[in-house]
Chain A
Amino acid sequence: MRKADISIRLAITGVGIICSIGRNRSEVWRSIVESRAGIGKLTKFPGETFPTDVAAEVGDLDDLLPIDSREARRMSRSDLLAVIAANEAITQANDGATTLLPRERAVVSTGTSTGGLLEGESFYFDRLVRGRGRVATSRVLQQPTSGPSDAVARALTLGGGVLSNATACASAGAAIGMAGDLLRSRHADVAVAGGSDALCRLTYSGFNVLQAVDEHPCAPFAAERKGITLGEGAAYLVIERWDDAVARGATILAELLGYGATCDAHHPTAPHEEGRGAQAAMRGALAEAGDERPRVDYINAHGTGTLLNDSAETKAIIAAVGEAIPVSSSKSYFGHTLGASGGVEAVISVLALQNQLAPPTLRLDVAADDCTLDYIPHTPRRMALTNILSNTFGFGGSNVSLLFRRA
């Protein structure tokens, strides 16, 4: 069995993103620069009575689809978000290159927590009313969480394999790390890796009954923080072995340097109070950077806005990386995109490296007593960025850290 050779450098040659602050990377970055959040009133489920009504929604997708409407009708909203973002990433990876990506050797690695649950819910409600045999099953074809990977591979004709990671909110980070190892062990030549999740009733209700949702737009690390804002979106990276990208004449946007994945082994939903697993994940990502431990310039935090996460993550950062590193939470812009968050925030990290600009934490007027780091409040900070850590943690105590380097 071939071993993943961590001396093989990994180049990111394309990124694609869609979330509540933009339908593509240009729009998203403009929103970041202008400190413009995409959080508002929940509109998706009229008539439902949730305890809170704030969300980070993406609008209608019809005009953005790179596939025909007949194909699109068979896909879930998570699938469609995924196809839009992956298509943008692949287009960029081919743009200006002398040789196109070898799609037949491209693996799709997607993280998702809801998959086609939105469509599954509709199917369930219709079945309640009309009976088991009277609802079209085509509506739940894409219910499984394998849907987004299958849809991206189908829509974009990718033949290197499909992997679907359903590790709650750590899903997409894990999917990206896993893709890197597949390239380093030469099981694939290209990876289209990221995540996708659409808002659905079950998660909106579920986080509310856990009392984990802020009634106002989330305020990560703030003294008044009360929980998350739920969002939706998708984002993908095109990753190649560095030498292959150079040989193709591709423009290299950034380097994927390391990946760490751990588990708290502590509680089904709550993080370990000292961020035990998060520390280990960050250390794991740094360890993959080689013998010389790299200096981290900025951390794109998981930063959900819950009391438990932000406190534990702060402690973990201090223990693993130190307390002098600027940290921010992009979720203050586009909410918690759940299984997609690792992908969305990986793309934000790559864009930050390209633009040498660290995104801020919005709505951070007064940091909490247990949040003692420099969280870059309100506006982006221009700074020299060479290495960025991106954290994503999930239910079940799963933790993933990704380390990116400026190209």
Chain B
Amino acid sequence: MNGVAITGIGIVAPGAVGIEPFRAMLDAAVSAVKPIDRFDTGGLSAHTAALVRDFKARDYIPAMKMRRMNTLSRYAVSAARLAIDDAGTQPSSESGVALGTAFGPVQTSVDYMQEYVAKGAALAPPQLFAESVANAPGSHIAIEFDLRGFNITLTQRESSLLAAAMYASSQIVKGTVPSAIIGGVEEVNEMVFSVLDRLGALAREENGLPERMRPFDRRRNGMSIGEGSAIFVAEATPSRQPYGWLTGFGIARDTTATISDWGTGDEQVAAAMRAAIDDAELTIAGIDAIYASANGTQRGDRLEMRAIQRLFGENVPPVVATKGYFGEYAAGGGFDLAAALLAIRDQKLHASFGFEEADAEMKFAPVSAPRAANLRNILVNSVSAGGGVVCAVVSREGA
């Protein structure tokens, strides 16, 4: 089995900075989704999100450099510093960088347009424009750590992080680079939040139930969004005992999906899961747990639930839904992968957050309390609005 070792994890998450605080937060089953105080949610249906608080980028980035970075870049570079420190080794300069982000620098674009309106098209600040490209965080990581291999940013909605991991892993296995920085990064801002709210995508108070993201729950009515960055050091030959290994990936698209919603083609979602398992040279029986994509949306969770049941039949392994802790999108995808890697390292499943009552057609119950488990391989899913699906297998043994 060809695998890629994950030897370092850096986390800048809502409620946790660093991998051990992150682990402690998962173990304590505490959600970081809280009322928003960053911008006004008056007139909107949703009022909560998972925001990064108590984080100071200057603890990780020199002030001179920090001034050139937007919030997104600060999250990513800080998480990369934490990941590299966690790995204990500076990656070689041949190493690559692959990041994923769903919405990227939307806030920077908004800031630019505010200046554009206020000062005119000729006088907006060039520094803001330079940071308005989605690959700015990846570029800053490369400059900060002198990484001259590939530098790629993928923006495939909920699948952004796993798509980036798939690409980086393929390049390591191919021998193009010896190691890579993989990661997800996201920023919650008023523009994205209010649009998602208007589209009805966000969890909201309804029928006397408080606003909460309820993955797989029959009463679910939307997602909560989150921000931050999860960065991973991936190596062909591990420089230390790895958390775990990325051993397989699968990709597909649900052809029934519209350009902005989930469809009903669960066979294509199951095909992506199956492809990841095949790529890891495993059988379905070799999967000991699933870290799900579930984000509390009616259609998205139903699609994934049906796909899991289609593939695993009556023998669905334990399913963990982590996005209730940290919210949706690329950083959330990264946090989900980080949780799966911790599960493999610690041989312990995490509790799902937000699930209470099973959907009528559900034949499995998400894990509700942390518990020890013999975990050889975990399937990690990302199922995107728009139809994209990328799945990965995380393994205890990799080569």
Q: Which residues of B contact A182 (CB under 8 A)?
A: 170, 251
Task: Tell me if B130 and A210 are in contact (CB < 8 A).
Answer: yes
Q: Which residues of A contact B248 (CB under 8 A)?
A: 1
Chain B binding surface SS class = mixed
Interface string of A328-369 (1 = CB under 8 A from B): 000000000000000000000000000000000000000000
Interface residue from A120, A151, A207, A394 paired with B109 (Cβ < 8 Å): A120
Knowing A1-B248, A137-B198, A188-B251, the reply to whether A146 touches B140 (Cβ < 8 A) is: no
Task: Tell me if B386 and A1 are in contact (CB < 8 A).
Answer: no
B119-127, B220-228, B334-342, B363-371 - interface stretch: B119-127
CA distance A50 to B101 in the complex (A): 30
Q: Which residues of A contact B253 (CB under 8 A)?
A: 107-108, 153, 158-162
Minimal beta-carbon separation of A62 from chain B (angstroms): 19
A13-21, A245-253, A258-266 - interface stretch: A258-266
Interface residue from B139, B174, B388 paired with A181 (Cβ < 8 Å): B174
B20-28, B153-161, B295-303, B372-380 - interface stretch: B153-161
CB-nearest residue of chain B relative to A2? B279
Q: Which residues of A contact B138 (CB under 8 A)?
A: 167, 396, 398
CA distance A178 to B156 in the complex (A): 14
B255, CB-defined interface residue at 8 Å: yes
CA distance A157 to B253 in the complex (A): 10
B146, CB-defined interface residue at 8 Å: yes
Interface string of B177-215 (1 = CB under 8 A from A): 000000000000001001100110000000000000000
B241, CB-defined interface residue at 8 Å: no
Task: Tell me if B280 and A206 are in contact (CB < 8 A).
Answer: no
Task: Tell me if B139 and A398 are in contact (CB < 8 A).
Answer: yes
Interface residues on B, range: 35 or more
Interface string of B244-282 (1 = CB under 8 A from A): 001111111111011110000000100010010001100
B315, CB-defined interface residue at 8 Å: no
Interface residue from B117, B140, B388 paired with A150 (Cβ < 8 Å): B388
Task: Tell me if B154 and A166 are in contact (CB < 8 A).
Answer: yes
B133, CB-defined interface residue at 8 Å: yes
A197-205, A231-239, A300-308, A378-386 - interface stretch: A197-205
Q: Which residues of A contact B151 (CB under 8 A)?
A: 167, 261-263, 265, 396-398
Task: Tell me if A265 and B147 are in contact (CB < 8 A).
Answer: yes
Q: Which residues of A contact B1 (CB under 8 A)?
A: 1
Task: Tell me if A159 and B152 are in contact (CB < 8 A).
Answer: no
Task: Tell me if A146 and B157 are in contact (CB < 8 A).
Answer: yes
CA distance A397 to B386 in the complex (A): 30
Task: Tell me if B4 and A396 are in contact (CB < 8 A).
Answer: no
A126, CB-defined interface residue at 8 Å: no
Q: Which residues of B contact A157 (CB under 8 A)?
A: 255
Interface residue from B148, B199, B246 paired with A264 (Cβ < 8 Å): B148
Q: Which residues of A contact B120 (CB under 8 A)?
A: 49
Interface string of B53-69 (1 = CB under 8 A from A): 00000000000000010
Interface residue from B109, B150, B247, B249 paired with A262 (Cβ < 8 Å): B150
Q: Which residues of A contact B106 (CB under 8 A)?
A: 120, 143
Task: Tell me if B174 and A263 are in contact (CB < 8 A).
Answer: no
Name which of B101, B142, B145, B152 has the most chain A CB atoms within 10 A of its CB.
B152
B313, CB-defined interface residue at 8 Å: no
Task: Tell me if A166 and B279 are in contact (CB < 8 A).
Answer: no
Knowing A1-B249, A160-B252, the reply to whether A206 touches B129 (Cβ < 8 A) is: yes
CB-nearest residue of chain B relative to A276? B148
Name which of B120, B199, B260 has the most chain A CB atoms within 10 A of its CB.
B260
Task: Tell me if B387 and A268 are in contact (CB < 8 A).
Answer: no
B355, CB-defined interface residue at 8 Å: no
B7, CB-defined interface residue at 8 Å: no
Q: Which residues of B contact A115 (CB under 8 A)?
A: 155
A149, CB-defined interface residue at 8 Å: yes
B289, CB-defined interface residue at 8 Å: no
A68, CB-defined interface residue at 8 Å: no
Task: Tell me if A267 and B143 are in contact (CB < 8 A).
Answer: yes
A79, CB-defined interface residue at 8 Å: yes
Minimal beta-carbon separation of B152 from chain A (angstroms): 5
Name which of B123, B126, B156, B246 has the most chain A CB atoms within 10 A of its CB.
B156
Name which of B151, B157, B247 has the most chain A CB atoms within 10 A of its CB.
B151
A154, CB-defined interface residue at 8 Å: yes
B135, CB-defined interface residue at 8 Å: yes
Minimal beta-carbon separation of A296 from chain B (angstroms): 20
A140, CB-defined interface residue at 8 Å: yes
Minimal beta-carbon separation of A211 from chain B (angstroms): 8
Interface residue from A3, A174, A284 paired with B173 (Cβ < 8 Å): A3
A51, CB-defined interface residue at 8 Å: yes
Task: Tell me if B4 and A164 are in contact (CB < 8 A).
Answer: no
Task: Tell me if A163 and B163 are in contact (CB < 8 A).
Answer: yes
Task: Tell me if A165 and B388 are in contact (CB < 8 A).
Answer: no
Task: Tell me if A75 and B116 are in contact (CB < 8 A).
Answer: no
CA distance A163 to B153 in the complex (A): 10
Q: Could you name 27 residue pairs across A and B whose Cβ atoms are closer than 8 Å?
A: A48-B121, A132-B194, A133-B43, A137-B199, A143-B106, A146-B156, A146-B384, A154-B386, A159-B255, A159-B268, A160-B252, A161-B251, A161-B252, A162-B386, A166-B101, A166-B154, A167-B151, A168-B135, A185-B170, A188-B251, A209-B122, A209-B126, A210-B130, A268-B130, A269-B130, A398-B135, A398-B138
State the 10 A-B residue pairs at the shortest beta-carbon distance, nearest first: A396-B139, A206-B129, A161-B251, A263-B151, A166-B134, A261-B150, A150-B386, A205-B121, A162-B388, A265-B142
Q: Residues on A close to B: CB < 8 A?
A: 1-4, 6, 48-51, 74-75, 79, 104, 107-108, 113, 115, 117, 120-121, 124-125, 128, 132-133, 137, 140-147, 149-151, 153-154, 157-168, 174, 178, 181-182, 185, 187-188, 201-202, 204-210, 261-269, 276-277, 280, 284, 394-398
Known: A108-B253, A268-B68. 9 other contacts (CB 8 A): A1-B169, A50-B122, A74-B259, A146-B157, A147-B259, A153-B253, A166-B153, A202-B113, A398-B138
